Amino acid sequence: MTIHPDLARLLDRNRAAGGPALQDMALTDARAAMRDMFHANGYPVRHEADVRQLGPAETGAPFSATLYRPQQASGTLPALVYFHGGGFVLGDADTYDIHSRALAHLLGVTIVFIGYRLAPEHPFPAAVEDAGAAMDWLAGAAAALEIDPTRVAVMGESAGGNLAVNAALHAARGGRLGLCGATLIYPVTDARPFVEGASTARYPSVTRYATGTNLDDAEMRWFLTNYLPDRADAERPENVLERHPDLALMPRTRIFTAECDPLRDIGLSFATTLIEAGVEVRADCLSGMLHSFMCHGGISGQALRHFFRIVEAIAEDFPPRG
């Protein structure tokens, strides 16, 4: 394990500062702490964008959506449907606002940030249901939103990686959207290693990076205890995605994992499963990175370069027309 020096210094500062771990905070404090961390350490430029917020009254479902459209863009645009991280418990549009703006600016597409329902107020399957409903809503609303329904990709980070897969498979079964790609970043594609009593699932990185590397075993168990209060749900194909019967329907998929992350081998194993299902897949393990490196661009030049690398990969899903 060789953590990039910038990120090793981050871990040292966090240890020196002390304070409770996320799982030991009140829920509102944990959500605020994640938001503050993203604002302090994340993408370092706030790009201008045309932002439109749609609540459940506008989407006709329990989820909200925030649309980021590049400034002065005209006409119909492709869309990237963005499912955020936070262990199914934390995260919102404000937390990811600067990142959503950056994606809209750099890609020249409409970012559709989905505010799915969070646990523990709304445990599984609420978030998965919202992911599917979001794709149905987008298919119906695309024309009004000036989005090309034949040029839609999905992106998810961590817990959002799980939801992006579930959303893509739901959309593929429905046939109303033309999915052109999926990008999964340190995704939670198998819940079992972090759920007491679940069937055995061995991934070396889960043990190797169980403590001391930003995301740890105790935090993951807290997330999934909140999200999956019924242990049997940890065995369902929505949470063990390698068991999903429809994986062959996935569009071209890119999976980015962090070297020093307990979820590393889970994501890489899922890449192998997709390949075996006949899906076009590219998997990259990024050296020296920690979980959540997408929000480390303000403190690490290497993490920021990886952010741009991922943007370039997503851009391949939206080639110019003509």
Which DSSP category does 232 fall into?
G
Which DSSP category does 227 fall into?
H
Q: Known catalytic residue: 296?
A: no
Name the E strands within the chain: 49-54, 64-70, 77-83, 110-115, 147-157, 179-185, 253-260, 281-290
Out of 92, 130, 261, 265, which one is annotated catalytic?
261
CA distance 80 to 154: 5
Give the Cβ contact number of residue 179 at 10 Å: 23
Best CA proximity match to 7, nearest among 158, 212, 157: 212
Out of 100, 158, 205, 292, which one is annotated catalytic?
158
Give the Cβ contact number of residue 162 at 10 Å: 27
Q: Known catalytic residue: 158?
A: yes
Task: Provide the β-strand partners of residue 185.
Answer: 157, 256
Give the Cβ contact number of residue 276 at 10 Å: 12
Q: Give SS3 for 264.
A: helix
Q: Known catalytic residue: 122?
A: no
CA distance 11 to 297: 15
Active site members: 158, 261, 291
